[in-house]
Structure 1
Amino acid sequence: MDYSEFDDRVDDLSEGTYAGLPIVPAPEEEGEEIPAADRVAWRLSVPSYEDELFEDCLAGFLQRVDGAAVRALIIGEWADASGDDGSVVQVLVDNADRFPELRSVFLGAMTREECEISWIQQGDVTPLLEAFPLLERLEVRGGSGLELRRVRHGNLRVLRFETGGLPAAVVRGVGACDLPALEYLEMWLGVSWYGGDATVADLEPILSGERLPALRHLGLQDSEFQDEIAAAVASAPVVARLESLALSMGALGDTGAEALLSGQPLTHLKRLDLHHHYLSDAMMDRVREALPGAEIDLSGQETGTEHERYVAVSE
């Protein structure tokens, strides 16, 4: 898996590729030329200024596209995205039998102009995992109202949460899930002001790696307490099996970097992502010297006292 494809994904996924497939908007008119359903990632979006419900949008899509062949769905804007209570998930679940080959879902692919990340109102995403047992990739943008209950899913390989504040209950939910095939886990923890109330203790089941035997990339990012996370990672059992580690986008400083370098060996890592950080020049040099064989991202060096630090994504 090419982990670099996930770097700084803050776009609306309206073009380019997703899950290795070219992104194509859902057809809107009868007679419109339509590519093979399994050869593209379909983007469904209902602008907030329109009265159309997502349920009607999906119904129209299924009238024009063979849902039985669809492999990837990108759900963009929907009406009242800042007030939705999980109905979009319910619509997808209600139509699960129409998508037997669905493998990848991105929920909430909106720009900040459409809806600020911390205003996107999500709900319980557990039903998606329950309704789509063959799903390999689930990505969610927006943490307000987000829930994840304990579930076992044997095929999920990628799980990502992009938020300005990830609820502690979701972090604990991830740690409680049995995900034997999961290779890539990324969580933007965000700030307390926007609901990011997780602690290092909430991360312990993840850092133990007991329920994540296949994990190869771990991203614990965008955190106000990034130094504490780095210190916990330094002795975490899961690190020994990782190929890639991301502690980026947060308030990481020399204290956290020192703890990381003083802990277990990291020389097996192929990639270390620390972009958007508060490391000194001297500490940046130490990190590079400690991992001469790894690809290291130390871009986005910020300055400021501990109380002046900010994360990359909040509101």
Structure 2
Amino acid sequence: MTLGDHPHVFHGLPVYTFPEPDRNTDLPEPDGVAWRVGTTVYDAGEEWEEVFARFLDKVDTTRVRALIVGAWHEAYDTDSSAVIEALLAARDRLPALRALFLGDMESEECEISWINQTDVTPLLTGFPALEEFGVRGGSGLEFPAVSHARLRVLTMESGGLPAEVVRGVGASDLPALEHLDLWLGTPDYGGDSEPADLEPILSGARLPSLRHLALRDSEIQDAVAAAVASAPVVARLETLDLSLGILTDDGAAALLAGQPLTHLKKLDLHHHYITEPLLDRLRQTLEPAGVELDLDRDDADEDVESDGTVWRYVSVGE
């Protein structure tokens, strides 16, 4: 899978890209859209900070509710430190900000594994009223343990999420968090976490409000599924998402043998390598209980070498 399109909706608002300086256009109401502010990765006419300065000048940012940070110049070689500094410097001008996404770049702009990040937790500390935060790109990403009283949605998209980041999320105090989405990825792109790193998340002790859990795009999806099957947090979930990874019959069997999942509203396993007999067992077990299942194989293809070696792939890597 490639990331080939920018979001059309963010935080329940239509996304509007802040225009280039030579475009004379009427701007929407500041609180009526999610503003996307970005430049270009290659041959940028403006640095991101310059675009953001124009945004602050042209828009009544006291009313802005949602902000998406798009590309910054040479994101493949330059991390997001300057972007984060600019956002923090403007925090007093963004009192209504409730949602922030850092690094919205399509694959043609910058492959997900090329996007350079840094410690992003100062944004959570600097914006204590945030309810939704997302970041794309795992290279250089840091997330030491943080406390945040109001965050409800946390999303981390990567081709490889460092184990230190996973552990940092698990050690954080996020009492209001309802939705957690981690793209674990593969070791080839820095995704070196193991099921043990997920244990603080799966225990649910620091996440009393969690109702929607996604642990996806993992090369060790079977082991993740086995850990989830006995995880205390699952009993309070409404949706469970183990999609985009290398989930096989072993992982599906572990889910079926574990605690009941019939209380879920939805189980999402799309992009998988599960055979039809196990798919039938999932349907027969969960559909009568009203669980919505996404069992689409999607773009999960196998390569078989002449010696019988089978290669399987996560959906989002490079």
Q: Aligned residue for 2:146?
A: 151
Q: 23-32 or 81-90, which moves further after superposition?
A: 23-32
Q: What's the counterpart of residue 311 of structure 2?
A: 308
Query: What CA deviation, in whole Å up to 9, does each residue of 1:253-283 have, x standing for no partner?
Result: 0011101110001000000000000100010
Query: Could you state the TM-score of these two structures normalised by the residue count of structure 2?
Result: 0.93
- CA distance in 2 between partners of 1:52 and 1:303 (Å): 41
Alpha-carbon offset, residue 17 of structure 1: 1.7
- 1:76-97 C-alpha deviation (Å, 9 max, x unpaired): 1110111223221121112111
- Inter-partner Cα distance in structure 2 for 1:194 and 1:27: 33
Measure, in 2, the Cα distance between the counterparts of 1:193 and 1:210: 31
TM alignment of 1:180-199, pairs within 5 A? 180-199=175-194
TM-score, structure 1 normalization: 0.94
Count of paired positions: 307
Matches within 5 A, 1:34-183: 34-48=27-41, 49-85=43-79, 86-183=81-178
Residues 144-170 of structure 1: per-residue CA shift (max 9 Å, x gap): 000111111011110011100001010
Structure 1, 154-163 or 299-308: larger mean CA deviation: 299-308
Q: Residue 13 of structure 1 corresponds to which residue in structure 2?
A: 6
Question: Would you say the 8 A contact 1:143–1:167 is kept in 2?
Answer: yes
> Distance in 2 between the 1:307 and 1:92 partners?
46
**Distance (whole Å) between structure 1 residues aligned to residue 102 and residue 277 of structure 2:** 41
Moved more, 45-54 or 65-74: 45-54
Report the Cα offset of residue 218 of structure 1: 0.5
Q: 1:227 touches 1:256 (CA, 8 Å); kept in 2? A: yes
Amino acid at match of 1:136: E
Determine the C-alpha separation between the residues in 1 that align with 2:146 and 2:5. Answer: 29
Offset, 1:32: 2.9
**Kept after mapping to 2: 8 A contact 1:11/1:109:** no
Corresponding residue for residue 4 of structure 1: none
Instruction: Return 5+ residue gaps in structure 1 as ranges.
Output: 1-7
CA contact (8 A) 2:70 2:102 kept: yes
Tell me if structure 2 keeps the 8 A contact 1:245–1:272.
yes
Residues 227 and 251 in structure 1, CA contact (< 8 A), matched pair in contact too: yes
Contact conserved, 2:244 with 2:269, CA < 8 A, in 1? yes
Deviation at 1:140, TM superposition (A): 0.8
Q: Distance in 2 between matches of 1:116 and 1:230?
A: 27
